[in-house]
Amino acid sequence: MGRVSPTTPDLVHHADSPESPWWRDAVIYQIYPRSWADSDGDGIGDLPGIIDHLPYLRDLGVDAVWLSPFYVSPMHDAGYDVADYRDIDPLFGRLADADRLIDTAHDLGLKVVVDLVPNHTSSDHPWFQEALTAPPGSAERARYLFRDGRGPHGDLPPNNWRSVFGGTGWSRVPNPDGTPGQWYLHLFDTTQPDVDWDNPEVRDEYDAILRFWLDRGVDGFRVDVAHGLVKDPALPDTTGSMHLTENPVGHVMPMWDQDGVHDIYRRWRAVLDTYTIPGDPDSQRILCAEAWVRPEERLSHYVRPDEMHQAFNFPFLETPWDSAAYRHVIEASLRSNDAVGAPTTWVLANHDVIRHASRFGLPQDGQRRNGIGAHDPQPDAALGLRRARAATAMMLALPGGAYLYQGEELGLPEHTTLPDEVRQDPTYHRTLGTDEFQRGRDGCRIPMTWRHDQPSFGFGPGANTWLPQPDTYGDLAVDRQDGIPGSTLTLYRDLLHYRRKHRFGHGSLAWDSLTSTTVLAFRNTSGDGTRTALIVTNFGPDPVALPEGDVLIASGPLTDDGAVPTDTTVWLRLPTTQEETR
Ligand code: NOJ
Ligand code: MG
């Protein structure tokens, strides 16, 4: 009866078993702790603020939260520079607050994923401090990548690697007697020395850190720079850009995506699996890779059955607004991950990229932009929001899991006119005045907007915010959108509700014949075959007529005669099965 059968020629992906574990179709909401909710009025979000607002996430309909780092840190990279992996920075609260956060989330039916930063520590970490006072060749230095410099006096860095944040990737330290000494590698800021993953002591330490948080009840880890931990041991000079996200296909960079990283993830998977309660898939703890790796097939190596559970689909995030480009990336991702039995993890936004409500309002020329400043060409806000809503409606109909970034459910744009003097991202300061100049990531990290009529838009009790909020955030506040038909918040709630109700995250995917150079159309059929939705996204100028069926949801108004206008996504329930018509 119309059910998509396994022999359908355009079937790209089979449905998952309805009993599969929670993470395979989970929608996980990223909280950037310093910017979500501030309880004490210091202008910086904190754990008590998060706890107070967790019911909002239950009502939104997500399955889990991922928290960016909240550990003790000098905050040179907003906490991605960890000085103590086993405690909370006083800015955010105390360890007891983390425990209460985990318990409260669990009581609300939300899982908790925390951030693990294993590529580097902070230079304030006791290990690095010990390394500085220890001699070359010592066990203390062997936890990091210390090397002698080149040139007759060792004045030149050991190789030509650049920092992802701009400038050289090496810094020189003085010897205990004050004379110039060795150099250490830092792929990011000078305050983020890379650790040496060939050192067994390093491996043991991070196992212990995993256990520390697993014992406290976290449900998983998002793994920072997962493709960077292992370096080619020869540390050879390299050609090409060092940008974290630029790992060109067919060009193996000596610091990115080295095969040796996979041993680490096998080891961690074994640790996590000891926490699974037999017969209870809900107890599974997960690992999610932040790996900027291409092509999709290389990325799928991170989610082989004995490695991580999820890997962010950054090729999807970087896809320009184009039907054929989406068709290609969706198909390539599903096929690569199906080959290893893993779900695909869709994502459109995070704390490192321009918010998609603004990104889609820029020229879709495939060019990466690192932030937007007041004197740069400004995005078309209305166009960007319209496309962002259509993109999210498409994404949440795809089989697999998905991550959302705080505020996207309100349609928040990037802050594109931040005064340069308030910028805090180290990439801005490290590249200022150079030809690597990056405006930086502050514009996507602006504090949340909860109440339109309060100072700091309800972010905190007073007016303080660590970065200024744009005026436009007032009308986008939660209280302005809550329960309002057509608002972006209502759209997200509806999408998450239907997705969960019909288990579209576990469904199959087949291309529909409406697909063309300007239309992306696919069918998602639930594993038991009882529901098929047709999802249509119109990238072209002309409205697209729909076949017979009930419109479940639309990312924007339809035309008067019920067609899908430009830059709009519709979910249509098709009258397909006997069960449904009963
Ligand atoms: C990726 C994180 O998402 C980013 O915010 C951070 O700056 C780098 N890794 C370095 O830890
Ligand atoms: Mg605070």
Which residue's CA is the closest to the ligand 1 atom numbered 5? 352
* Residues 427 and 344 placed together within one structural domain of the fold: yes
Centre of ligand 2 to C-alpha 459, Å, is 10
Residue 286 belongs to a domain with what CATH number?
3.20.20.80
* Residues 308 and 367 placed together within one structural domain of the fold: yes
* Residues 178 and 208 placed together within one structural domain of the fold: no
Among 507, 539, 538, residue whose Cα is nearest residue 523: 507
CA gap 185, 192 in Å, rounded: 9
Is residue 190 in a domain?
no
Mean pLDDT of 213-241: 94
Mean pLDDT of the chain: 95
Residue 164: CB within 6 Å of ligand 1?
no
Centre of ligand 2 to C-alpha 210, Å, is 27
Is residue 192 in a domain?
no
> 139, 161, 185 — which closes off a domain?
185
**Active-site positions?**
224, 290
Q: What is the pTM of this model?
A: 0.97
What SS3 state is found at 338?
A: helix
- Bigger pLDDT: 241 or 420? 420
% of the chain surpassing 70 pLDDT: 95
- Bigger pLDDT: 19 or 443? 443
* Residues 39 and 63 placed together within one structural domain of the fold: yes
Centre of ligand 1 to C-alpha 191, Å, is 13
Residue 135 belongs to a domain with what CATH number?
3.90.400.10
pLDDT tens string 351-370: 999 999 999 999 998 888 89
* Residues 49 and 1 placed together within one structural domain of the fold: no
Which ligand number lies closest to the CA of residue 430? Answer: 1
pLDDT tens string 320-348: 999 999 999 999 999 999 999 999 999 99
pLDDT tens string 149-182: 999 999 999 999 999 999 999 999 999 789 999 9
Centre of ligand 2 to C-alpha 350, Å, is 21
The pLDDT value recorded for residue 70 is 98
The torsion angle over the Cα atoms of residues 360, 363, 365 and 366, rounded to 10 degrees, is -30
Give the residue carrying structure tokens 């220890």: 134
Residue 80: CB within 6 Å of ligand 1?
yes
The pLDDT value recorded for residue 3 is 41
Is residue 580 in a domain?
yes
> 467, 491, 515 — which closes off a domain?
491
The pLDDT value recorded for residue 6 is 45
* Residues 363 and 226 placed together within one structural domain of the fold: yes
Residue 526 belongs to a domain with what CATH number?
2.60.40.1180
The token duo for 292 is 């900027």
pLDDT at residue 38 is higher than 90: yes
- Domain extent at residue 524: 1-16+507-582
> 138, 158, 185 — which closes off a domain?
185
* Residues 460 and 322 placed together within one structural domain of the fold: yes
The pLDDT value recorded for residue 247 is 59
- Bigger pLDDT: 7 or 304? 304
Mean pLDDT of 299-316: 98
Residue 86, Cβ neighbours under 10 Å: how many?
13
Is residue 460 in a domain?
yes
pLDDT tens string 45-87: 999 999 999 999 999 999 999 999 999 999 999 999 999 999 9
Is residue 458 in a domain?
yes
Residue 347: CB within 6 Å of ligand 1?
no
CB 409 within 8 A of CB 451: no
pLDDT tens string 378-401: 999 999 999 999 999 999 999 999
The pLDDT value recorded for residue 367 is 86
The token duo for 371 is 């932030």
Residue 188: CB within 6 Å of ligand 1?
yes
- Bigger pLDDT: 3 or 104? 104
* Residues 423 and 556 placed together within one structural domain of the fold: no
The pLDDT value recorded for residue 249 is 60
Is residue 500 in a domain?
no
Among 411, 407, 406, residue whose Cα is nearest residue 389: 411
* Residues 411 and 318 placed together within one structural domain of the fold: yes
Q: How confident is the model at residue 250 (pLDDT cuts 50, 70, 90)?
A: low
CA gap 368, 357 in Å, rounded: 15
Q: How confident is the model at residue 291 (pLDDT cuts 50, 70, 90)?
A: very high
Radius of gyration of the chain (CA): 24
Is residue 496 in a domain?
no
* Residues 66 and 168 placed together within one structural domain of the fold: no
The pLDDT value recorded for residue 19 is 83
CA gap 330, 151 in Å, rounded: 49
* Residues 11 and 57 placed together within one structural domain of the fold: no
The pLDDT value recorded for residue 2 is 38
Angle, CA 264 vertex, CA 249 and CA 236 arms, to 5°: 50
The pLDDT value recorded for residue 241 is 63
* Residues 363 and 261 placed together within one structural domain of the fold: yes
Is residue 499 in a domain?
no
pLDDT at residue 242 is higher than 80: no
Total count of domains within the chain: 3
The pLDDT value recorded for residue 252 is 79
Residue 97: CB within 6 Å of ligand 1?
no
The pLDDT value recorded for residue 578 is 40
The pLDDT value recorded for residue 4 is 42
Lowest average pLDDT, out of 139-143, 527-531, 537-541, goes to: 527-531
